[in-house]
Amino acid sequence: MNNIAPKLSAKEYESNFAELKPALTDIAAHAEANRCLYCFDSPCMTACPTHIDISTFIKKIATGNMKGSAKTILSSNWVALTCAKACPVDVLCEGACVYNDKGEKPIQIGRLQRHVMDWYVENGMPQLFTPAPKNGMSVGVIGAGPAGLACAAELSILGFDVTIYEAHKIPGGLDTHGIAPYKMKQQDSLNEVKMIKKLGVKTKTGALIGKTISISKLEKLHDAIFIGTGLPKPTELKIPGENLAGVFNALDFVEDVTKRNWKSVKVGKRVAVIGAGNTAIDAATEARRLGAIEVYMIYRRGREQMSAYDFEYELAKSDGIKFYFHSQPKRIVGKKKVEALECLETKIVDGKLKPVPRSEFKIPVDMVIKAVGQNIDDSFLSSIPDLKIEDGMVVVDGKTYQTTNPKYFAGGDCINGGKEVVNAAYDGKRAAYGIRKWIFGE
Ligand SMILES: Cc1cc2nc3c(=O)[nH]c(=O)nc-3n(C[C@H](O)[C@H](O)[C@H](O)COP(=O)(O)OP(=O)(O)OC[C@H]3O[C@@H](n4cnc5c(N)ncnc54)[C@H](O)[C@@H]3O)c2cc1C
């Protein structure tokens, strides 16, 4: 990189990456819990993809029954601490709270859930569920992200012998390696892994299925297999200059940032982030908070078409990110290192997005972060016999999560093309019941 962003003091880094939604005090949590109306139809519960019985866990906070509250939460969602901190609550549970209709502040469900889960971790994660007696069946879970973890936890409770195989040395998937540090810490995700291991789930890390362990070996070891491998392959831009020094994939960049070793992360003075989804926003805000002086987001469509949530967009704007809408990267300019990003303006012609001829303009930058999407690992998945993949997603039965190869089940980003942690957690749990039904017919 030509120009490195100036290093900040330890205090500045900590302040830049301080939690956006800090913990509630006991008094504040009780006051907030007592505001809950315990609605008869709990729209918050319907809006939560894992359908946590929200009013009940909140009622239990109000009565001081923290253990019971944790049990209510965990019986629906095995990665409830991550979800409490990272879920887009504004568009899910809190967005559905009836207080919104009254023009009042919704119940802070995310922070209350975090209050309970923090209590649970601080109190040594006591065993709340008794696993069923072993049923003699064994399941292999590929991927230790939220989908794999949730599936493994539920299977263990149902009496299965479960082993998770994770390519990374440290488990947790994107909960550990992707979510912005101002939302949660890696340790939160690792605590969830610890809790799931306490249920009897075995984990093998550094195990890349398809390479270090073959599919056929896995099939011999297990009666059923769950695929929770997410979207590990970044989409390439396919423009000249993509291999220059200073060009990064968003996933590699954000993973570096989650380690909280701020000074060691390479950041340019002027950074262009290509893309406009939530991952792009995270990469841009993180670059800025690490000290980049100018951060630009480049997007070929307009603000209305951005897939990032409104609150993420507002966060980026308040961090001083500058947006180039209707701009399409044409090439990354530089001899050995990035010097500029050349773009073309775009406009809609006959309903189609087209670059405007001779509209080239250059943005001087010393770092480019590519955040235009992620994909399944096609080469690995296509080695599983009879596994149908459509539009870049593993095809499953909507109820049982069984794939077109009956021994395999799947969930999370690899079946939905990339949603949220909470969707992956739900899929994993439901797939456990799909597996039980297939094996035992119940
Ligand atoms: C940068 C970023 C920020 C995000 N922020 C949020 C957020 O704030 N809130 C939110 O709700 N969602 C967020 N998401 C989305 C969320 O992280 C995902 O929806 C969720 O992690 C998907 O879970 P998963 O288990 O399907 O996949 P992953 O979390 O990706 O886990 C898949 C796991 O499988 C492993 N694996 C892959 N292939 C193999 C193989 N062949 N053998 C063994 N292991 C393998 C991987 O190493 C990985 O650990 C974010 C996503 C990104 C990219």
Interval 277-333: pLDDT, tens: 999 999 999 999 999 999 999 999 999 999 889 999 999 999 999 999 999 999 999
Please identify, by atom number, the ligand 1 atom nearest to the C-alpha of residue 184.
8
Confirm or reject CATH 1.10.3720.10 for domain 234-374, answering yes or no: no
Instruction: Quote the strand ranges of 310-358, DSSP E.
Output: 322-324, 327-333, 340-349, 352-355
Q: Look up residue 426 and give its DSSP letter.
A: H
Asked, colleague to colleague, whether 138-231+376-440 and 234-374 share their fold, the answer is yes
* Distance from Cα 345 to the centre of ligand 1, integer Å: 33
The tokens describing 60, both together, are 């239990």
Cβ atoms of 165 and 217 closer than 8 Å: no
143 lines ligand 1 (CB under 6 A): yes
Q: Across the chain, how many H-helices and E-strands are there?
A: 18, 18
3-state class (DSSP) for residue 95: helix
Q: What pLDDT does residue 2 have? A: 57
The residue whose two tokens read 């897939």 is 307
Count of beta carbons in the 10 Å neighbourhood of residue 19: 13
Cβ atoms of 101 and 44 closer than 8 Å: no
Query: Selecting from 1.10.10.10, 4.10.520.10, 3.40.605.10, 3.50.50.60, what CATH number does the domain 138-231+376-440 have?
Result: 3.50.50.60
Q: List the residue whose alpha carbon is closest to atom 48 of ligand 1.
A: 173
Q: List the residue whose alpha carbon is closest to atom 15 of ligand 1.
A: 420
Query: What are the beta bridge partners of residue 166?
Result: 205
Please identify, by atom number, the ligand 1 atom nearest to the C-alpha of residue 87.
11
Phi, psi torsion values for 58, nearest 5 degrees: -70, -40
Please identify, by atom number, the ligand 1 atom nearest to the C-alpha of residue 172.
49
User: What's the pTM value of the predicted model, to 2 decimals?
Assistant: 0.97
Q: Which CATH number is associated with domain 21-122?
A: 1.10.1060.10
Please give the Cα distance from 111 to 26 (Å, whole number).
12
Helix 310-318 × helix 278-289 angle, to 10°: 20
Residue numbers in the chain where pLDDT is lower than 70: 1-2
**pLDDT tens across 216-238, in order?**
999 999 999 999 999 999 999 99
- H-helix segments, 264-309: 278-289
**pLDDT tens across 235-258, in order?**
999 999 999 999 999 999 999 999
Cβ atoms of 283 and 371 closer than 8 Å: yes
Please give the Cα distance from 364 to 343 (Å, whole number).
11
Q: What pLDDT does residue 40 have? A: 87
The tokens describing 249, both together, are 């994939």
Please identify, by atom number, the ligand 1 atom nearest to the C-alpha of residue 427.
26
87 lines ligand 1 (CB under 6 A): yes
Helix 109-122 × helix 54-62 angle, to 10°: 60
Query: Which burial class, exposed, middle or buried, applies to 220 when counting CB atoms under 10 A from its CB (0-12, 13-18, 19+)?
Result: exposed
- Annotated domain spans of the chain: 21-122, 138-231+376-440, 234-374
142 lines ligand 1 (CB under 6 A): yes
Q: Name the amino acid, one letter, at 159.
A: G
Q: What pLDDT does residue 90 have? A: 95
Please give the Cα distance from 332 to 335 (Å, whole number).
10
Q: What pLDDT does residue 252 have? A: 97
Q: What pLDDT does residue 1 have? A: 62
174 lines ligand 1 (CB under 6 A): yes
Q: What pLDDT does residue 328 have? A: 97
Q: What pLDDT does residue 351 have? A: 84
Count of beta carbons in the 10 Å neighbourhood of residue 391: 6
* Distance from Cα 144 to the centre of ligand 1, integer Å: 9
